[in-house]
Structures are given as C-alpha cells and as structure tokens.
Amino acid sequence: MSLDTNSKAKAGSGWGETAKIIVQALAIAMVVRVFFFQPFNIPSGSMKSTLLIGDYLFVSKLAYGYSRFSFPFSPNLFSGRIFGGEPKRGDVAVFRLPQDESLDYIKRVVGLPGDQVQMREGVLYINGQAVPKVYKDEFANIECDPYFRHCRRVVYKRYEETLPDGGPTYTVLDLEPEGEFDTTEVFTVPAGQYFMMGDNRDNSSDSRASVGFVPFENLIGRAEIIFFSAAIDEPDAMRWFSPWTWPFDIRWSRFFNLVR
C-alpha cells in the first residue's frame, strides 16, 4: 500500500514539475516577444525580391525603442517613444499604418525627417541627387490568385540601388517602364516622420500614395532575419490537403537569411 502511495506522489510531483517548466517557458517566450523580438509573416509581394510571400521573420523591437504599438492591443498608456533609437535610411521596418492602426505594414525607410524624396522616370531622388540604380538581372516569379486558383509567370527587371551617406545596397523590381508611381511630386518629409517605399516599385502601396508619411511613434521594429519560408504564392503550394507535399513547398535556402 505504501509503495502505491509513493508512486502516485512521485507521478504527481513529475506532472507538477512539467507544468512548472511549461509555464516558465511560456513566460520567457512572452517576454521575448513583447520586449525583444516579434515574429511577422509576409502576406503580400510589395517587398519582392527582398522578402517573398510566405517568409516569416523576426523583428527587433530594441532597434527603435518602444511606443504603444510595441505592445499587444496597443494600450494607450503613453505617447511617443521610450528608449527610442532612430531608424537609418535603408532599414526594412514594420510599422502601424497611420490610416488604420490595426494593420501592420513592412517597407524600406527611404526618406528621413527633412529629406526631399521624388521619383523621376523610375529613378529615386533624395535631396535632389539620383540614387544609383544598376541593372542586375531578371527576376521571374509565379504569381497566383488563391481565390480563383489562377497563376501566371511574371518577369521583372531587377536593379541594385545604393542609398547615399553610406546607406545599404539592395535590389528593387521594375515591372512597367512607365508605372503609375515612377514619376511623382517632390515629397518633403516632416519632422518626426519617415518616407517608406516597397522594393517592388510597381506593386507597393507606400508613402508615394495612400500610406503617406509614417510617424516615428508608429514604428514597431526593424526586420532582422528570416527564420522560415514557404512558397504559398506558387501553384504547387496550393496543396493544403496533402501534407506529404509540404516539405517540397518550403524554401530551405531562405532560412536564417539576414534582411538587407
């Protein structure tokens, strides 16, 4: 009888320790997510070919400090930012859309406060100086409409841009030689705000149009690294009911790529 009692006590102790470990692990994961790194996924092609639909990445909240948008449900506890570090020109940043603060967007920081930004015939100008744009290659992509199951092969011209003042070099896509936003007015970026653009220049809703300038407070963090990627926008990826095909839909080569 005593042996059975001891066995039950040990079993109960074991389950208690397991539950304690699980609770501690969840608490640590929550702290990391809220204060340090938050996972995001890419739902649209506005940042191709830097980021693809189906990429999952970690965003550093430490990079820009904290605003109310840094926390779940965006509690209106304070205004502005604390421990704020200003973004650099060329950062790929996640932010809350000024017109709808329930939506997260991801774009590249192109214009800093006080900059003048303009597009002229597909060339980016910052403070009156053309940003070097060099043809690199063609970027072919299968693009699908998941609702109508219609897919087509789209070929872009891919260029390398290098931002001024020691900024990064990255790739941009050009689909139409005279796209809707290839030539714009001159935008003067107000104090405390930023001008954001997608790398897929003919298929990006950004500061050239509906997004407008993005306040510093709306920034959530800087995209750092891709930790998972699946080709959910390609025709072979429309196989949700055949799990044995899923390993072939994973883009293994994109794992742990730094976002630049």
CATH of the domain at 233: 2.10.109.10
Number of folded domains in the chain? 2
C-alpha 110/C-alpha 198 separation (Å) is 9
C-alpha 15/C-alpha 11 separation (Å) is 6
pLDDT of residue 31: 73
172 and 208 both lie in a single domain: yes
pLDDT of residue 8: 53
pLDDT of residue 61: 93
222: nearest Cα among 109, 40, 91, 81: 91
pLDDT of residue 235: 47
- Residue 165 is given by DSSP the state T
pLDDT of residue 231: 82
Spatial strand order of the sheet with 133-145 comes to 133-145, 150-162, 169-174
CA distances from 161 to 110, 124, 168, 227 (A): 11, 9, 8, 25
Residue with tokens 């196989």: 239
Domain region containing 17 = 1-35
pLDDT of residue 125: 98
CA 97 distance to own-chain centroid: 13
159 and 233 both lie in a single domain: yes
The answer to whether the bond into 60 is cis (omega within 30° of 0) is no
pLDDT of residue 238: 46
153 and 193 both lie in a single domain: yes
Residue 138 lies in a domain: yes
109: nearest Cα among 89, 79, 130, 94: 89
pLDDT of residue 232: 67
229 and 244 both lie in a single domain: yes
Catalytic (active-site) positions: 46, 107
| Positions of the chain with pLDDT under 50 | 1-3, 234-238
29 and 47 both lie in a single domain: no
